[in-house]
Amino acid sequence: MALPVSEPSPGLDLLRRIEAQLPVDRIDEVWLFPACAVGKLVSAVALVSVFHDDGHRRKVLTARWSARPGTIPARPPEYAVIENGIAPADRVAGLVLGVIGRLADEFAQPPLAASIRGDRGRWADWLASLPEHA
């Protein structure tokens, strides 16, 4: 189903909200799943791995964004971040690949992924490289 046009797009809005809540220097990797619409609800999901205090593990977070465009009165998008757990750094990518495999039938495209490694420049470059409809 085609998504309604929104400014900014659901995925980009979600990433900007993540950036406002989490210091970029704590973000290791990000996977942005394609935004989707079910009925009047538009949603976007991102998985984020964040450096844990010990440096060898990562907190795995799920960030969700949802909105109902065109509702009267207009309501702002809902946003939430949930901590899913802590994993060894070398296991996070495998966990995410498992999630992607289980969700393959729900998404026409795989998630957009970025290795940020706590670098603000990498974060800014990745955001700038994303398609407008992300």
Domain ranges of the chain: 10-128
Half-sphere exposure of 43 (CA within 13 A, CB side): 14
Mean pLDDT over 38-64 rounds to 92
| pLDDT at 4 exceeding the cut of 60 | no
Dihedral sign computed on CA atoms, order 93, 129, 103, 42: positive
Mean pLDDT over 97-111 rounds to 80
